[in-house]
A and B are shown apart, each in its own frame.
Chain A
Amino acid sequence: MSRLIKQGRIIEDNWQAPDADASVTGSHQILDLEQWLALEDKAGRAVMLEPGQAPAPLFDHLGDIPLVAVNFPVFTDGRGFSYGRELRERGFSGELRACGHFIRDQMTYLHRCGFDAFQMAEESGLEEAVASLADFSEHYQAAIDQPLPLFRRRH
């Protein structure tokens, strides 16, 4: 079982990574977008988005999805930041998980974009990575973690 950071703590993961060949029936199997789209009953089923897979097809099912994973095959591809924020802005309240090759220095931004779980390709640095979530205590912009921009909060 792999470990990940969720809501600021390191926990054991009970979800299976997507696998195009895997049976899609397992209750803790994350599906790729194609598998997920093919499902008739989407209730309780988790899905992973790759870069280039904008989240629009998920918008009508947000209440049914317990987990959306967003994969970062390379950390310099920032499309997933927008995906996360768009999902949260439209009311997604399940787990939003960043997966893959993002680096800890991006976690504070990912968190601001609505990600609450971080599954890093390299698990050895998780303890140190948690600290990165606290890199900044104040922000200018509105985002998911702080829906009011600083200019509406300054005093």
Chain B
Amino acid sequence: MYVYDEYDQTIVDQRVAQFRDQTDRFLAGKLTEGEFLPLRLQNGLYMQRLAPMLRIAVPYGLLNSTQLRKLAEITRVFDKGYAHISTRQNVQLNWPRLEEVPDILAQLATVQMHAIQTSGNCIRNTTTDQYAGVATDELEDPRPYCEIIRQWSTLHPEFAFLPRKFKIAVCGSRQDRAAIHAHDIGVELVANASGVVGCKILAGGGLGRTPVIGSVICDWLEKKHLLTYLEAILRVYNQNGRRDNKYKARIKILVKAMGVDAFREAVEQEWDQLRDGPTTLTDEEIERARSFFTEPAYRELDADSVKERLDAASASDPIFGNWVRRNTVDHRVAGYRIVNLSLKATGYAPGDITDEQLELVADLADEYSFGEIRSTHQQNLVLADVQADDLYALWQRLQKAGLATPNHGYLTDMICCPGGDYCSLANAKSIPVAEAIQCRFNDLDYLYDLGPIELNISGCMNACGHHHIGHIGILGVDKKGEEFYQVCLGGSQSKDASIGKILGPSFSQQDMPDVIDKILATYLDLRTEEELFLDTYRRVGIEPFKERVYVKAD
């Protein structure tokens, strides 16, 4: 993974000092609440319902074991002994004290971490595929480009006070695991007709109040132009994005208002000025970035005999076998598996992890996965490079720690924002809804029979829980001071991305498990043999679901 040199360290250290001074001035009354607001947000600090929330950046979801141990220590010393993995692959602390935040940042800086631009109207943490570099369907590893974008966007002087937040995702594989269509800018590594890999650029996607699938702005761009092109897009947005209404301020609204062609033309015009300038990437820089994401020292293994041993172990312990089948994924290298650690055990807030679990995962990463860990936008963790022969030992230790729930990709592996329990923006709680659904549908055979289903829950319009692009989406709404839940169906975050359609009038919290039950029963009744939930929905439309859910009692 990327390792700081003295330049990176200097920048992060100076940011800590700057934020310490800003916090001191705020506490001394020299900065108003209004002035401090964007400054603290650009350092990931929210004022929440009960306490501040600090969002720590995990660039493109990559962590090493040293960083994980530091996070564990920070949750113990400065917080309540647990952390939360966000849908931007970041780590959130729910109970830090404002006056201690500069100390937390200073601690983070010692392990090459920070909270820069994890919030605020600026370019946020760039996200990518959690299987980058190890996926079997990968054209090229996206992480070097994420790192290049990270450096370019970090403390960018021109784009720190944008009309609204700005999110970039990069994907380099056939299947899109980074939801690039739902981002302000999506970058996809693609080959052109001559087989040269470049960047396809999408813009204007986004969730929130007005969900929009991104439009292709450029079919294929030479890699060296990546940053100047992004800069041109940002410049058009910074100058022309709406600033009069925060709900219409995202780039998606600008792209819609201008029309894709006019927007593209404006970008090209700005790009004329920037193109081939000093920000044009050099071959050396691309190589330097790639040099941090080289292969670890994989052992040469005989795929067949490894498989034989794994099959035998799976057969002799079916519970282990089931976990292997559900929570591990094929690896690019023979004899290795990608392991998903589920943070979706029933009874725990989705995405939460304790200090002890963090330390355990750090140890396991050191022992079994070259010391690296990934966080995912589905709010789980991944050990990306585990030898299949080590899976049994790994599983036993994960199981003891509650990290081996075999539900990866199934209904109970839901995405869920912190919601009204923590967040001051939320209209409704989301964690209790997630828990009620997890409790109702805890029969694993039923879950497996349902097949992969993405259920996403947001506590408000801001859509941190990505409800629009869940196969089933749940949105908390406020009706005259009471919490209700709206359901949408048919969203998808894949390359065939779609925005879910609202089922109908909203439901009370206690009705939600029944509502989900009826939706699932409709699917089970109507599906053909090989159809997944989304396929059935796309074939039959929303009506049969609606009829079943809203049927009047006789």
CA distance A149 to B282 in the complex (A): 11
Cβ-defined contact, A78 with B159, below 8 A: yes
Given contacts A76-B121, A150-B151, A154-B5, contact A139 B278 (CB under 8 A): no
Cβ-defined contact, B154 with A140, below 8 A: yes
For residue A83, which residues in chain B have a CB less than 8 angstroms away from its CB?
A: 239
Cβ-defined contact, A143 with B277, below 8 A: no
Cβ-defined contact, A142 with B279, below 8 A: yes
Cβ-defined contact, B239 with A136, below 8 A: no
**Interface size bracket, B side:** 35 or more
Cβ-defined contact, A138 with B238, below 8 A: no
Cβ-defined contact, A142 with B35, below 8 A: no
Closest-CB distance, A26 to chain B (whole angstroms) = 31
For residue B162, which residues in chain A have a CB less than 8 angstroms away from its CB?
A: 78
Cβ-defined contact, B285 with A151, below 8 A: yes
For residue B391, which residues in chain A have a CB less than 8 angstroms away from its CB?
A: none
Closest-CB distance, A24 to chain B (whole angstroms) = 27
Chain B 239-261: CB-based contact to A (< 8 A → 1; otherwise 0): 10001000000000000000000
Cβ-defined contact, A142 with B239, below 8 A: no
**Which residue of the partner chain, among B22, B31, B160, B282, contacts A78 with CB atoms under 8 Å?**
B160
Cβ-defined contact, A82 with B158, below 8 A: yes
A118 at the interface (CB under 8 A from B): no
A85 at the interface (CB under 8 A from B): yes
The stretch of A6-14, A30-38, A100-108 that contacts the partner chain: A100-108
A81 at the interface (CB under 8 A from B): yes
For residue B497, which residues in chain A have a CB less than 8 angstroms away from its CB?
A: none
For residue B31, which residues in chain A have a CB less than 8 angstroms away from its CB?
A: 103
268-305 of chain B: CB within 8 A of chain A: 273, 277-279, 281-282, 284-285, 288
CA distance A48 to B243 in the complex (A): 20
Closest-CB distance, B38 to chain A (whole angstroms) = 6
Chain A facing B: main interface SS = loop
Most chain A beta carbons < 10 A, residue from B10, B17, B31, B279:
B279
Chain A 103-138: CB-based contact to B (< 8 A → 1; otherwise 0): 101101111110000000000000000000001111
For residue A151, which residues in chain B have a CB less than 8 angstroms away from its CB?
A: 151, 281-282, 284-285, 288
A141 at the interface (CB under 8 A from B): yes
Chain B 156-171: CB-based contact to A (< 8 A → 1; otherwise 0): 1111111000000000
Cβ-defined contact, A79 with B238, below 8 A: yes
A54 at the interface (CB under 8 A from B): yes
Interface residue total, chain A, C-beta cutoff 8 A: 39
A148 at the interface (CB under 8 A from B): yes
Closest-CB distance, B240 to chain A (whole angstroms) = 9
Closest-CB distance, A107 to chain B (whole angstroms) = 10
A19 at the interface (CB under 8 A from B): no
Given contacts A77-B243, A105-B39, contact A140 B278 (CB under 8 A): no
Given contacts A77-B161, A135-B18, A151-B285, contact A140 B152 (CB under 8 A): yes
**Which residue of the partner chain, among B14, B161, B238, B288, contacts A76 with CB atoms under 8 Å?**
B161
CA distance A154 to B279 in the complex (A): 14
Cβ-defined contact, B238 with A82, below 8 A: yes
Cβ-defined contact, A113 with B278, below 8 A: no
**Which residue of the partner chain, among A113, A147, A152, A154, contacts B158 with CB atoms under 8 Å?**
A113
CA distance A86 to B288 in the complex (A): 30
CA distance A138 to B11 in the complex (A): 6
Closest-CB distance, A61 to chain B (whole angstroms) = 18
CA distance A139 to B11 in the complex (A): 7
CA distance A86 to B238 in the complex (A): 12
Task: Write 12 A-B pairs (CB below 8 A) sorted by A numbering.
Answer: A75-B161, A76-B161, A77-B161, A81-B160, A105-B39, A137-B14, A138-B10, A139-B11, A140-B152, A141-B279, A142-B279, A147-B278
Knowing that A78-B159, A78-B238, A86-B235 are A-B contacts, what are 5 other residue pairs whose CB atoms are under 8 Å apart, sorted by A's residue number?
A: A76-B121, A78-B121, A106-B160, A135-B17, A138-B14
